[in-house]
Structure 1
Amino acid sequence: MLLKAFSLLLLCSVALAADSYDGYKIYDIIASNAFEKQILLRLSNNMDYDFFDMPRAFDAASRVMVQPKDQAEFELLLQKFNLEYAVINDNLGDSLRQEQLENQSQRLLSQRSASRSISFTAFHRHAEINAYLDELAKAYPSRVTVTTPGQSYENRDLKLITITNGDGKTGKKVIFLDAGIHAREWIAPAEALYVIYQLVENFAANSALLKDYDWVILPVVNPDGYEYTHTSTRMWRKTRKPVSSSCYGTDANRNFDYHWGEVGASSYSCADTFKGETAFSEPETQLVRDLLLGYKGRGKFYLTLHSYGNYLLYPYGWTSALPTTWRDIDAVAQAGADAIKSGTGTKYTVGSSTNVLYAAAGGSDDYAFAVAEFPISITMELPAGGTGFDPTTAQILPYVSETWLGIKAMAQKVIEEF
């Protein structure tokens, strides 16, 4: 009977994936000079091509997903301009179905065997994440507080966990961490959960991080989009509030009101980088705004988790100019990069968003730094898995444990300096 129920669960989960991605190809393209880089930039403006990344370095491949109807034309364009490319996945749909089956299997196993509702062998649904936070609040009432400061557009609870050392002191400095602004970046909420696990359930080893600081963590900023990637469209990026009769969602990381819409964001509502009809048009970004402003003066370190690309990025995203205090932020980011390289050999690129990746105004990191006055504000782009945004379940624990090395080192640096 259990086997039958398990099989039914798997079949239902596959049936829910309305966008199958059958025949979609993933390409890696090398631009060997500035002209070829400009060709790629022009191609990335075509909404028919989903560019996963666009590295500045000439030796780093740009990755793009192309649907079947556009592949012949796309390959002809690459050949016309003598761009070197390789097909790294010739049927994304097959890969995603296999990954989904494995994830459902691991979720079921963790629910049967784990003492808590969360494991690091599966990507968990939003309700499971919220349940884990509630379990921690019940199990560790002196050190954990869980609140619901608001709901998403589709009325999902955005739960916030505040972690202390239980000494009862109020008004401590704050490290604020969030994840899941972009729906398809599943490894980011997984990392937020791992940070929570380390601070709460592995408290003895990490108590120094909580002596003078409280940690405030919002593990899924965009739960509507996150759930949509589990049930319908795996590569969905935006929120889910309707914008027009045919287009849904806003890029929440282009929706913050600091140089909003000036560069690196689209005014076209169907685009993945749509900036929103107005700044803070989304209830999810309004909630993050209000939380950040509420910690003004106490907030010392804002860290937002994304994927992918092995980057530690800091302001500004709207200009190549640097803040006057950029060296302070750089030192913290470098501490994280050094800790990860020393621990696992993985290399991270450190620098301002515009200078080492691309210009994109309206991001949460710029807002946290310039408006909410967090002196250290960093975006952490975790490594690629699978074809980029789809790490396997086997990659979760290695990735989150590695990333924790960097987060812990950055927090220690902030605690020492601020």
Structure 2
Amino acid sequence: MAQSTLSVILLIFNCFLFIESVPTPLETPVRYDGAQLWNVDLSDEQTRQMVFDLENEFDVSFWSTSHAEADMFLKKSAIESVRQILNKNNIEYSVRVDDMQKRIEEESSQLYGEESLYGNNNKSLTWDAYYSFDDILLFLDKLVEKYPNLCSLETIGYSHENRPLKVLKISNGNSGNKAIWIDGGIHAREWISPASVTYIVNDLVENWNNQPAYIQNVNWYVLPVHNPDGYEYTRKSDRMWRKNRSKNNNNHCLGVDLNRNYGYKWGGKGTSSNPCSEIYAGSGPFSEPESTAVKNFVETSEENFDAFLTFHSYGQWILYPWGYENHIPTEDRDDLDSAGRQAAKSMKAVDKQVYTVGNSADLLYAAAGGSDDWGKSVGIKYSYTIELRDKGRYGFVLPPKYILATAKEAHAFVFTFAQIIAAN
């Protein structure tokens, strides 16, 4: 009898062990069947206000905005109501994407995700595919292993979900070198950003001996994925996710917009105190581990950084501070504008793509708490946000066939700035 009882207890215990060992199923991916991307004309201030009021009234978000137009993302349930309002008020619009889910599936069918994992086939990144965060880390590790005298990795912090924030330093070790910071992927859905940044890294390292002196005499610091939790979430659960994955004090809406969480003029225009908003600024300046890690690294570094370059998408813009308020002049605005136009010229030479240069608040909209404003505020002269391809045909869901050309444009931008800095 005792033996029988013991057997039952062991059976129950083993069942619990089995249950504990079963992996938690992945969250069911969010689908966007019938969702559309519209381009809306903003002909005057009254129209602008009416269009932006739709965000609160319907399930609408704005992906790219300038003073003249806006790209508006609508879920299927909102389309007819918004259409009636725009038509009633004679507001012109066009449909850029007529079914976002189809566009996402087209993207996912083209060499990305589980079919092309660098870690599984032991090949290098190819820039005809979008890779996972783990593959990007492996890519960095292999560069350090292959070029230990040129490359080093430092973990500057950890994300909310405990992923490492790794900065690659590329340096010849010479004294008197300039210093440039580069980051990508602060917004999760902007996949072209980490892809372009890793391309730049690869060229710097693999072709180091053939690089000009103005490249070799720079200490390069590169954070390819500023928001790894959000990036992985877009790969597995919600392709359109923007923020990090912070719990927000158990609020049912997760995530903070890291590009509203930096401390300079935090909480001002172009931000939200609503945790459910895509531009939620967080509970306070630098409330997030990802933004805090960058702040602490830059502020405690022995380097006096000459440039702070942060890559985003989309819209093909080269933007410089200040962004926290409209019409606030920067002391060296002429220098920033001139350098930006020089870089735009180099980018156009790659594939004839036009990048518009200007102050972010003037060209687009005011947005406080941005990393570029913070970079400028701590004394980094050349602080820019670069919005990569495209201008709205694909938006955030840029097909892999455009990665290489876009990455080469980002590369041209960086090399132009290295040359400008060397001449100063």
TM-score between the two structures when normalised by the length of structure 1: 0.90
Distance verdict in 2 for CA 1:158–1:109, change over 3 Å: closer
Q: Is the 8 A contact 2:54 2:82 kept in 1?
A: no
Distance verdict in 2 for CA 1:46–1:343, change over 3 Å: same
Determine helix, strand or coil for the equivalent of 2:157: strand
For residues 335 and 410 of structure 1, what CA distance do their matches in structure 2 show? 9
Residue 92 of structure 1: aligned partner: 100
Distance verdict in 2 for CA 1:261–1:36, change over 3 Å: same
Give, in angstroms, the shift of residue 43 of structure 1.
2.7
Determine helix, strand or coil for the equivalent of 2:188: coil
1:378 maps to 2:384? yes
Residue 420 of structure 2: aligned partner: 413
Distance verdict in 2 for CA 1:407–1:74, change over 3 Å: same
1:211 pairs, out of 204, 212, 216, with: 216
For residues 174 and 274 of structure 2, what CA distance do their matches in structure 1 show? 48
Percent identical residues: 35
Determine helix, strand or coil for the equivalent of 1:36: helix
Residue 230 of structure 1: aligned partner: 235
Over the residues paired in the alignment, what is the CA RMSD in angstroms? 2.0
Residue-by-residue CA offset, 1:332-377 (whole Å, 9 max, x unaligned) = 2111111122333211111111111110000101111112x11110
Opposite residue 283 of structure 1, the aligned amino acid is P
1:80 pairs, out of 64, 88, 104, with: 88
1:52 maps to 2:54? no
1:22 pairs, out of 33, 43, 52, with: 33
Residue-by-residue CA offset, 1:193-229 (whole Å, 9 max, x unaligned) = 0110111012234242333311100000000000000
Residue-by-residue CA offset, 1:309-333 (whole Å, 9 max, x unaligned) = 1111111011221121222222221
Q: Report matched runs for 1:304-315 at 5 Å.
A: 304-315=310-321
Q: How many residues align?
A: 396
Q: Report matched runs for 1:281-360 at 5 Å.
A: 281-295=287-301, 298-319=304-325, 320-360=327-367
Q: Report matched runs for 1:130-279 at 5 Å.
A: 130-165=137-172, 168-170=173-175, 172-243=177-248, 244-279=250-285
Distance verdict in 2 for CA 1:330–1:288, change over 3 Å: same
Give, in angstroms, the shift of residue 159 of structure 1.
1.0
For residues 289 and 253 of structure 1, what CA distance do their matches in structure 2 show? 13
Q: Report matched runs for 1:391-410 at 5 Å.
A: 391-410=398-417
Opposite residue 394 of structure 2, the aligned amino acid is T
Give, in angstroms, the shift of residue 119 of structure 1.
1.5
Opposite residue 253 of structure 2, the aligned amino acid is C
Determine helix, strand or coil for the equivalent of 2:297: helix
Q: Report matched runs for 1:84-123 at 5 Å.
A: 84-104=92-112, 107-108=115-116, 115-116=123-124, 118-123=125-130
Determine helix, strand or coil for the equivalent of 1:198: helix
Distance verdict in 2 for CA 1:54–1:45, change over 3 Å: farther
Q: Is the 8 A contact 1:332 1:414 kept in 2?
A: no
Residue 4 of structure 1: aligned partner: none
For residues 335 and 58 of structure 2, what CA distance do their matches in structure 1 show? 38
Q: Is the 8 A contact 2:39 2:93 kept in 1?
A: yes
For residues 92 and 354 of structure 1, what CA distance do their matches in structure 2 show? 29
Residue ranges of structure 1 left out of the alignment (5+ in a row): 1-14
Q: Is the 8 A contact 1:315 1:366 kept in 2?
A: yes
Residue ranges of structure 2 left out of the alignment (5+ in a row): 1-25
Residue-by-residue CA offset, 1:383-418 (whole Å, 9 max, x unaligned) = 12752001101111111112212221122112212x
After superposing the two structures, state which structure 1 stretch, 29-38 or 255-264, moved more: 29-38
Opposite residue 180 of structure 2, the aligned amino acid is I
Distance verdict in 2 for CA 1:105–1:249, change over 3 Å: closer
Structure exhibiting the larger radius of gyration computed from Cα positions: 2
Distance verdict in 2 for CA 1:251–1:302, change over 3 Å: same
Residue 64 of structure 1: aligned partner: 72
Distance verdict in 2 for CA 1:177–1:47, change over 3 Å: farther
Give, in angstroms, the shift of residue 101 of structure 1.
2.5
Give, in angstroms, the shift of residue 50 of structure 1.
1.4
Give, in angstroms, the shift of residue 86 of structure 1.
2.0
For residues 343 and 88 of structure 1, what CA distance do their matches in structure 2 show? 25
For residues 47 and 312 of structure 1, what CA distance do their matches in structure 2 show? 31
After superposing the two structures, state which structure 1 stretch, 176-185 or 20-29, moved more: 20-29
For residues 47 and 369 of structure 1, what CA distance do their matches in structure 2 show? 36
Give, in angstroms, the shift of residue 105 of structure 1.
7.1
For residues 415 and 219 of structure 2, what CA distance do their matches in structure 1 show? 14
TM-score between the two structures when normalised by the length of structure 2: 0.88
Distance verdict in 2 for CA 1:104–1:262, change over 3 Å: closer
Residue-by-residue CA offset, 1:133-169 (whole Å, 9 max, x unaligned) = 000000001100111121111011111100013xx33
Give, in angstroms, the shift of residue 83 of structure 1.
1.2
